[in-house]
Structure 1
């Protein structure tokens, strides 16, 4: 369980020089560029996202890792909790899909490292992937629920550092297979609007994080 040092370094390097030779440009929205690559095996796309938000990168990383706070600001997080809080963490995440589609849930391994890039800047790297049976114990497992589709093919890598204007520059590589029959319009919306909107919502959440912590 967990990720290799090379996997963290690779994701960090893509923040500076994303590997896009076999990706196509898909859309740009709110200053966020989305690229995609078609997978013959699954018939789905994997995505790489590059963008900036006007917040401090350490706060951005803290907000991304704080599951309790995410349930406050992310309306799609129907359920989100640690099954194992020690890194590499095991996270249970249930995503609310619009009616009449079934909700999806994830049981995945997540780990964060703080690295330093060639410029001497701090880079926060978070990697996640679907948990395998051998990763789980009785206490960290969540049985599949009736009416909720378990996503077991999920990979995500995120790298965050400071931008030239004092904010945060972020890179994300993302793929999942949500199974079932998902309308094309919803998949396109999630890629074209959902990801940029998520970063915009996260920026608002970062700006309110201090107030949230003071209220605990």
Structure 2
């Protein structure tokens, strides 16, 4: 199993809220729907990793973190999540996530571990969620679905000083296979802002969802 996340990884994630680290090849990629996206070329894989900065205007950070962690709820609002659930392996849990891809591409699936910490830093409340692929977890692969074995994400959230949440996210995955460049660009330029918009709506409806449970 993957080793637990280190304290330094959580600190690195929340510091991006104060001053995004844009040295070392990061370039502005796009600004859309109140979201700014940077990307950096990874020579080893020939792919890009992304840094996303934005604000969810009407959702408090504690609720944002709860919505982000709630796998069962996400299956109801994330139209790209075909399967999503958690399972225990020898006392440690891992998550299985199958993502719908447009025809004729094969769906991708992920097996990953994650950790959330609710931090207090100099009087500030900050929520950090880290995730990364766990290829050593013995989860059977499915025929016709491509397993993603190189995935990592960090999300940091805090109040924007009003009723919303300031969000910083770093993201990389290697989907394997031959993915058209138009789809990669669409996912970054349109898919990420759209996901945050959907998450905003999910936050707004979360109270009603909890009452119905």
Q: TM tier, shorter chain?
A: over 0.9
Structure 1 window deviating more from structure 2 (71-80 vs 88-97): it is: 88-97
Tell me by how many angstroms 1:116 deviates.
Answer: 1.8
Tell me by how many angstroms 1:85 deviates.
Answer: 9.5
Aligned mates of 2:135, 2:196 — CA distance in 1 = 29
Match of 1:70 among 69, 74, 84: 74
Alignment of 1:146 onto 2:148 = no
Deviations 1:27-66 (A, max 9, x none): 0011100000001110000000000012111110000000
Aligned mates of 2:119, 2:8 — CA distance in 1 = 12
Match of 1:34 among 34, 37, 42: 37
For the structure 1 residues 24 and 90, does the alpha-carbon distance in structure 2 shift closer, same or farther, using more than 3 Å as the test? Answer: same
Aligned mates of 1:181, 1:167 — CA distance in 2 = 39
Equivalent residue, structure 2, for 1:21: 23
Residue pairs, 1:108-187, within 5 angstroms: 108-118=112-122, 120-133=123-136, 136=137, 141-187=138-184
Equivalent residue, structure 1, for 2:13: 11
**SS of structure 1 residue aligned to 2:101:** coil
Q: Which runs of 5+ in 2 are unaligned?
A: none
Deviations 1:173-215 (A, max 9, x none): 0000000111111000000011011000000000000111111
Calculate the TM-score normalised by the size of structure 1.
Answer: 0.93
Aligned mates of 1:89, 1:53 — CA distance in 2 = 29
Tell me by how many angstroms 1:86 deviates.
Answer: 11
Aligned mates of 2:179, 2:103 — CA distance in 1 = 12
- Report how many residues are paired: 209
